[in-house]
Amino acid sequence: MQSRSIASDLLKHHPDMNFEIVPIKTRADRMQDVAIVELGGKGVFVKEIEDELLKGTIDMAVHSMKDVPVELPEGLEIAAYPRREDPRDVLVTMGRLKLEELPRAARIGTGSLRRRMQLLNIMPDLEIVPIRGNLKTRIGKIEPEGLHGIMLAAAGLRRMGWIAEVSQFLSEEVILPAAGQGVLGIEIRSDDGEIRELVSSLNHADTVIEILAERAFLHRLGGGCQVPIAGHARVHGESLQISGMVGTPDGRILISETMRGGRHDGAVLGRAVAEAILARGGREVLEIEYSAC
């Protein structure tokens, strides 16, 4: 779906070209009953696709940026960031209940430590049930697994045209999104100037500023999917705000920071937010190892 959307956008700018979609199923797609950390961490979503890119089997790769490690393989780069989709998290629940309407000890499904951390910080009595799979699979688990609901990214549901499934949109003040949530990145070979020029037309200025700030935040923390980390930047005209958070999966420790500056100060702000969190106990939290993502 993501690749088709990018191909469609490219055709608008380059109507004389043909684009072939090459589906690549990664280990994370094939082994949905195994925790991501056991498969090798966050990069498992993109590694096999990047291997094909380096081999020349494909000319560009479309990724959800929240799945892309901050360190890219040598010879690859992210050449374009199209306009960001809705970065919020959402609840899909039985009876269309909102977060504040859930009963005590409600069972909520999510495979994200970040979501788990924040949900339990708000409602410590929740039972968080680990689930993985594509959107259809996860939504289909609600009733048979006795869940009251699940938490998902709004962006994925919007791209699939399933936004009617949403029971509640959660603002970033309630649940801070993952760094890169809602952002697609187009990865290319660094020596392919022709493809770089081709995809550059898709860059969205505000999105580029936001994602670079968020990835500077992640880079300074050095965290992956093994640690609950949230980070979200927003451009407001000539200013930029970035919020970051780290904590423990049980929600008992949660360290957050928000800073504001100029729209072109993203990398500096991202690193500054990370430094503030590290100084307030984040370093110790990041040293803890967890068994699930």
* Interstrand relation of 107-109 and 127-129 (parallel, antiparallel or unpaired): parallel
User: Which of 182, 5, 7 shows the shortest CA–CA distance to 89?
Assistant: 182
Under 8 Å CB-to-CB from 56, ≥6 apart: which residues?
A: 189
Helix axes 266-277, 205-221, angle to 10 degrees: 30
Residue 18, classified by CB atoms within 10 Å of its CB into exposed (0-12), middle (13-18) or buried (19+), is: exposed
| Beta carbons of 52 and 45 less than 8 angstroms apart | no
67 is catalytic: yes
DSSP state of 72: P
Which residue, chain included where needed, has tokens 């043909």? 18
Q: Which helix (H) or strand (E) holds 116?
A: helix 113-122
Cα–Cα distance for residue pair 248/124, rounded to 1 Å: 13
Task: Tally Cβ neighbours within 10 Å of residue 7.
Answer: 16
**CA dist 283 to 62, 163, 176, 219, 223, Å?**
32, 38, 20, 13, 10
Q: Which phi and psi angles does 235 have, rounded to 5°?
A: -85, 130
**CA dist 107 to 64, 113, 138, 149, Å?**
27, 15, 14, 7
Which residue(s) pair with 137 in the sheet? none
* Interstrand relation of 61-64 and 184-189 (parallel, antiparallel or unpaired): antiparallel
The active-site residue, picked from 51, 67, 250, 265, is: 67
Q: Catalytic residues, which ones?
A: 67
